[in-house]
Chains A and B, each alone.
Chain A
Amino acid sequence: RKEVEQDPGPFNVPEGATVAFNCTYSNSASQSFFWYRQDCRKEPKLLMSVYSSGNEDGRFTAQLNRASQYISLLIRDSKLSDSATYLCVVYTGFQKLVFGTGTRLLVSP
């Protein structure tokens, strides 16, 4: 089983739609969780950290469920510019970050 698993997609949604991604992790001792965004042939960039209480940043909402060992990312009112690959990243300690394969999102007009 992979340490971090994501549905690779692609998720094809129209502009304005709401879309949600899930990510599961296997190490119950994982400490921190992040969502990164990666555009084609570019470096990943931090989208948001994921806190136990859940957090929201504009149209983006992240949730953490430690009991079931998954995190989620919800994007409301999708924009064309949201098209990218969204990487689930888990910090397992000892300065080790584990990346999921990413979920590809395509937002169409």
Chain B
Amino acid sequence: GAVVSQHPSWVICKSGTSVKIECRSLDFQATTMFWYRQFPKQSLMLMATSNEGSKATYEQGVEKDKFLINHASLTLSTLTVTSAHPEDSSFYICSARGVAGGTDTGELFFGEGSRLTVL
């Protein structure tokens, strides 16, 4: 089945630095990827929809200048948390809709997630 890989799994950084998280679809092309954030004991919250070759669509309340999304190819989307602060510490997960034989299967495949801790 479709596989989505996310890197890094864990990252610890100092306040004020920027962190880049990569999301790759390994065996299919994903024109659209999604970025979620999950705080402890809370549900996954959609941050933005990443569209290949165009600007990302951000959900209400998500700062597009702080969470930079680039979807430069059909298999790679990146999320950069700029000037990270402790309140940005969270579990960030990407996902893409599965494709089989060129057809959208409707199933959502998730990356392994990236746990960000900002000191």
Contact = CB atoms under 8 A, between A and B. Distances in A.
With a 10 A CB-CB cut-off, give which of A44, A46, A89, A96 has the most chain B CB atoms.
A44
Contact of B110 (A43, A98, A100): A43
A49 B97 CA distance: 14
Nearest to B91: A41
B98 to A, nearest CB: 9
Interface residues of A, number: 21
Given A43-B93, A46-B107, A97 B115 contact: no
Given A8-B41, A99-B36, 9 more contacts: A32-B106, A41-B115, A43-B93, A43-B112, A44-B44, A89-B108, A98-B46, A99-B43, A101-B41
B52 to A, nearest CB: 13
B44 A99 contact: yes
Interface size range of chain B in the complex? 20 to 34
Contact of A101 (B43, B106, B110, B112): B43
Q: Tell me if B's interface is mostly helix, strand, loop or mixed.
A: strand
Interface in A76-101: 87, 89, 95-101
B42 interface: yes
Nearest to A34: B108
Interface string B37-49: 0000111111001
B43 A102 contact: yes
B32 interface: yes
A57 to B, nearest CB: 14
Contacts of B41: 8, 101
A96 B43 CA distance: 15
Contacts of A34: 108
B111 A43 contact: yes
B113 A42 contact: yes
Max chain A C-beta neighbours (<10 A), residue from B41, B44, B97, B107: B44
Interface string A6-41: 001000000000000000000000001010000001
